[in-house]
Amino acid sequence: MSEALHWHRRRFLQSAAALPWLGSLALAQDQGGEGGPARIVREYQPRNLEYPFASLDQPITPTRLFYVRNHFPEPALDASTWRLKVEGAVEKPLELDLASLKQLPRVERVVTLECAGNGRLFLTPTERGVQWDTGAIGTAQWSGVSLGSVLDLAKVKPPAVEVVLEGADAGEVRSDPRSPGKIAFARSLPLGKARAPEVLLAYGMNGEPLPAAHGFPLRAVVGGWYGMASIKWLTRILVVEQPFQGFYQSLDYTYWERQNGLPTLKPITAMQVKSAIARPARGEVVAAGSKYVVRGAAWAGESAVARVELSTDGGKSWQPVKLSSKPEPFVWTLWTHEWLVPRVPGTASLMVRATDAQGRTQPMQRDPDRRNYVITHVVPTEVQIR
């Protein structure tokens, strides 16, 4: 274990020791017997695991804590027989093995992925889907090739409009009466986004080969878009001349947009500006009259975070927080704020809100047209002052 990791672990154990009520930070032995925070299990079959967001203390999320969002059982692919097909509206259909892919120019990029349902736990009434708290998000250094370089190799034909990415994960969506029987997980990107430099086909994560749970041997990483676009266990790239209308494209992972007074169904695409408080956690006890370093993250998808403000009085007043790095698109920014905790015991309501470079600010109210996705409204963190 590195020095830094030791330090983080020690610090975490100290803080966690002060938080016996934090079930989500249980000091369970996790993956190999190391102590420290563990992922929260949201669903066993298929496996859906949440990053313990209160443990946030560095921009890169440790792989063993990175959230896992599965729609079907995880396929176990054999890298020696696995192939990536590139077909449809291309001049040169391809069937690539991993070695051929690795001969293309290698790209390294730090990208934040967030599940489109992150924060669903805060919706009232309860909305269907995995009940994520704040931690269906994580940032990793991905290594691979750009999707654009593979498309160039296959030579996309001019009438093409979209690129469908299809994974090896497949099954029946029993919870949905509109499900079309057994389907593979698939999603499309407009050709422009597919060719953007932030869109990778990744075979490495945080300096290691991609783990099985994250799509071994190859996954898409679509910077700036919600996680459903970043297809894992990628097996097929299909270039199409009509917009794709698949189950996870046109029926699930959609929202309503009002046009001329009529609700219009739209696929979910780019991440919206959002911020979240990691510490204090909800219900945490803070010492009256102390200085408490409030910390969290802010992100803005394809845009950059421009401003992050914190309120410690339930939204009456807002102060700018300190950003730990210059914000840029595709990656979250960590922030801190030294809070002078009131001397009088009681409760406090903390809120954080971010604004992106386009001037869009997180809303205070939930927009019901977003249904069970894109949960970015400000959710207060109530703490106890003692």
Name the site residues for its own copies (rule: CB under 8 A): 87-88, 127-128, 164, 166, 177-178, 180-181, 183-184, 186, 238, 240, 244-247, 250-251, 254, 256, 260, 262-266, 368-369, 371
Name the strands in the sheet holding 162-172, side by side, starting at the edge strand that comes first in the sequence.
94-96, 84-88, 234-240, 162-172, 182-190
Between 108 and 172, whose beta carbon lies closer to its own copies?
A: 172
CB atoms within 10 A of CB 64: 15
Q: What's the rounded Cα separation, in Å, for the pair 66 and 188?
A: 24
Residue 279, token pair as written in the block? 């510490």
Residue 106, token pair as written in the block? 């290698």
Contact 188, 254 (CB under 8 A): no
Least spacing, CB of residue 249 vs its own copies, in Å = 8
Least spacing, CB of residue 151 vs its own copies, in Å = 17
Contact 363, 325 (CB under 8 A): no
Between 240 and 306, whose beta carbon lies closer to its own copies?
A: 240
Least spacing, CB of residue 261 vs its own copies, in Å = 8
Handedness of CA 47, 53, 57, 59 (dihedral sign): positive
Least spacing, CB of residue 7 vs its own copies, in Å = 46
Least spacing, CB of residue 194 vs its own copies, in Å = 17
Query: In Å, how far are 24, 112, 135, 210, 255 from 41, measured between CA atoms?
Result: 9, 21, 11, 21, 27
Query: In Å, how far are 44, 221, 256 from 49, measured between CA atoms?
Result: 8, 19, 28
Between 212 and 240, whose beta carbon lies closer to its own copies?
A: 240
Least spacing, CB of residue 255 vs its own copies, in Å = 9
Between 107 and 165, whose beta carbon lies closer to its own copies?
A: 165
Residue 323, token pair as written in the block? 């950003």
Between 147 and 186, whose beta carbon lies closer to its own copies?
A: 186
Between 66 and 185, whose beta carbon lies closer to its own copies?
A: 185
Helix, strand, coil in percent for the chain, rounding step 5? 15, 40, 45
Between 17 and 262, whose beta carbon lies closer to its own copies?
A: 262
Least spacing, CB of residue 177 vs its own copies, in Å = 6
Contact 118, 137 (CB under 8 A): yes
